[in-house]
Amino acid sequence: MPAALALKPLSPPKRRLMGPGPSDVSPRVLQAMATPLVGHLDPAFLQIMDEIRAMLRAVMKTANELTFALSATGSAGMEACVVNLIEPGDEIVIGVNGVFGTRMCDVAERAGARVHRVEAPWGEIITPEAIAGALNHCRPKAVAVVHAETSTGVRTPLEEIGGLARQAGALFLVDAVTSLAGIDLRVDEWGIDALYSGTQKCLSCPPGLSPVTFSVRAVEAMSRRRSKCQSWYLDSALLRSYWGQERAYHHTAPITMNYALHEALRIVLEEGLDARFARHRRVHERLRDALEAMGFSFLVAPEHRLPQLNAVRVPEGIDEAAARRRLLEEFGIEIGGGLGALRGKIWRIGLMGESATGEHVDSLLDALRRVL
């Protein structure tokens, strides 16, 4: 047997995951993943699916019937929401203030949409006034924004934008990949019609599933489609039959990942959403105070910062990639670099879910002092 094919057991290094995702995972979630498999149509697994849906509704603060965990990552959740709501020729207004708003434009254009981009500098929010201005010049089928822009650490307020979309007769689509279970999110109260997230951020579950929800208005819009959804795998009409009462076979669900999400959601609800949001805020403030005392500055204005994703400017004269490499190799701590226009200019420090602890913050600060 070639040496390269030696059958060695897995032995990944121990890390503190403090980048933009994934976050650290509770031992309870890892234990859930080690439990025996059942079939994807086994009555026991169907019961687990029902419980996942109920817990997702509680975390999302929605009564939407069409709420489930898509068997794919958050980017597929983005695509699922877009291709189910948008047909060729439809207009959509999309807020772009980072990588993921840009990606949503790409997905919508591939679905044949006429995209109206509402842009803001990276590090700033998409304002309701900018959305209102765009709505004065078009009649879109949907308005879409990123609630928590992972590439910049910006939290865009949703309430007023949701109202503007409703007044314009448009559906309101939200990217909540980095916000779900980390900051306040109210699907029904804020008039959100379609929302997608990911499991690996503030839910502190391994990556691989994308929680999604669709309002009654969104379901009605999908029922009036003139053409089939361009994606068979992401077609909500087919997925609804699997997750709904029919239990019609659609695909072989990732059983173990659903076990993990089930336990992760239990942990979130045991802690309580308000307590969880307060913990993220408290740990962020601990990091902020220490970094500012060390001379660091933040990219985002205080009122629009995400507590769970901190965009910190790299000081002049620091080789940011080399510093991150030392943090990883010498201290076992992962933080993220900048993307796109912010590449080489910022660090993205994640304090999400299981990674939002004072111990994580103190370990990072101690390591940073040594590295710098």
Cα–Cα dist 86/46, whole Å: 30
Q: Bridge partners of 178?
A: none
Q: Is the same domain home to 107 and 46?
A: yes
Q: Categorise residue 20: left if φ over 0, alpha if ψ from -120 to 50, beta otherwise.
A: alpha
Q: Is the same domain home to 250 and 321?
A: no
1 within domain boundaries: no
Q: Is the same domain home to 71 and 184?
A: yes
Asked which of 269, 298, 316 is the last residue of a domain, the reply is 269
**What average pLDDT does the segment 33-50 reach?**
96
310 within domain boundaries: yes
Asked which of 269, 294, 326 is the last residue of a domain, the reply is 269
pLDDT at 93: 98
Q: What is the CATH number of the domain that holds 332?
A: 3.90.1150.10
Q: Is the same domain home to 284 and 361?
A: yes
For the chain, what is the radius of gyration of the CA atoms? 21
pLDDT at 217: 98
Q: Is the same domain home to 292 and 150?
A: no
Q: How confident is the model at residue 1 (pLDDT cuts 50, 70, 90)?
A: low
Q: Token pair 């900051």 is at which residue?
A: 183
45 within domain boundaries: yes
Q: Is the same domain home to 160 and 226?
A: yes
- Write down the pTM of the prediction: 0.96
Asked which of 237, 269, 301 is the last residue of a domain, the reply is 269
Spatial neighbors of 328 by CB under 8 A, at least 6 apart, are 15, 334
344 within domain boundaries: yes
Q: Which domain holds residue 284?
A: 16-22+273-371
40 within domain boundaries: yes
Q: How confident is the model at residue 245 (pLDDT cuts 50, 70, 90)?
A: confident
3 within domain boundaries: no
Q: Is the same domain home to 228 and 282?
A: no
**What average pLDDT does the segment 3-17 reach?**
85
Q: Bridge partners of 334?
A: 17
Q: What is the CATH number of the domain that holds 166?
A: 3.40.640.10
10 within domain boundaries: no
- Number of separate domains in the chain: 2
11 within domain boundaries: no
